[in-house]
Amino acid sequence: MIERRAGEARGPLEGIVVADFSRVVAGPFATMLLGDLGADVIKVERPGQGDDTRGFGPPFTGGESSYYLAINRNKRSVAWDLASDDGKGKAVALAQRADVVVENFRPGTAARLGLGYEDIAAVNPRVIYCSVSGFGTSGEGAALPGYDFLVQGVGGLMSITGDPGSEPRKVGVAVVDVLTAQFAANAILAAIFERERSGLGQRVEVNLLSSVLSALINQASTYITTGTVPRAMGNRHPSIAPYETLRAKDGPVLVAVANDAQFVAFAKAVGLSALASDDRFRSNADRVANREALVEVLEAELVLRPAADWVSRIQAAGIPCGVVNDIAQAFDLAEHLGLGPVVHLERDSVARPAAAADPSPQSQVRNPMGFSRTPVSYRIAPPRLGEHTSAVEAELGLA
């Protein structure tokens, strides 16, 4: 197991062993979250190749892709060939000892390897077995491969992203994978909690399509309650105004006025107090109905001053607003606010061959969860392929 450092607090999932047979993004991100919470995550990879994300580059850092590094800390890597009897036997032995098994094999593969839920539960009835898929594990969707970009498109997200009348756009990150990972981690934690009462494990399932449909929240609700199909609106909100970007002298200002009281304060802050008593803009529903007229009046005033000036004035009135940052500026903001957005993990050069040793710190994005007694931890940098094979095999009595 990954040992706690001296003085390091006990994580909420310390003692939980996770057998991670997943690859790419959704499964590995979910297991990293469990690892951050203290679980001992053992990542099973193909010898010589490993997780697909190891090759998702450039960019590469220290021989590893930035993509792989983003979602694989707090794990130990073993390289086992599941096509061989030896590798298959080792994988089964790990799953039989694990508290949690996470997999995203193609349909039928897990059962063929002796790693299906029924196989493992028969000898490990306390196992929490999580299956991650693109379109479900049964029915016609079971045979369909699922990747984030594909599901952003077929799941409707791209249809509401971008400017009106423009080509549909994906979100700039694998957001469906991230959402699915969050659902998977939540389901696993709930099953672990329930196991404390029943003493029994269970199978939990998540899929990309169901995850994105759930995450469409108000847009999905609009469709299923009214039959109206939402369309792309650029930076505008379909149900709130002004809740969008507005043109200032040197660039856009982000304004999020979510209720009528905020609108009164906002109008005063921009020197247009009369707007709050204008019949066209008194209520949020009025402002949504008359959005074009409202934006025209606001931008006629906002273009007279730089965006930073308006942000200062509007924030002083207690109204959420800002400018559009790039990612570097976003990290600078988080650092300025004292959020400490980046953590550094020291590479452990003892566990790998000297030629692969990399003593430089590995920068990682901080986990956003905070705990007063059992904080998340950063115990091990994303592992080299097969880095912990010998140690894990020894622990399983397989060496």
> Active-site residues: which are they?
177
Q: Angle formed by the axes of helices 217-226 and 208-215, to 10°?
A: 80
b/e map 127-154, b = 16+ CB within 10 Å: bbbbbbbbbbbeeebeeeebebebbbeb
Q: Phi and psi at residue 89, in whole multiples of 5°?
A: -65, -40
Strand-pair category, 40-45 with 17-21 = parallel
Are 242 and 294 in contact by the 8 Å Cβ rule? The answer is yes
Other beta carbons within 10 Å of 192: 18
Residues 6+ apart with CB under 8 A from 292: none
Structure-block tokens of residue 114? 């002796």
Residues 6+ apart with CB under 8 A from 212: 151, 152, 155, 156, 157, 176, 179
Rounded to 5°, the CA angle 226-164-229 comes to 15
Give the whole-angstrom CA distance, residue 294 versus residue 301.
11
Are 181 and 33 in contact by the 8 Å Cβ rule? The answer is yes
Structure-block tokens of residue 388? 């912990």
H or E stretch at 302: helix 291-302
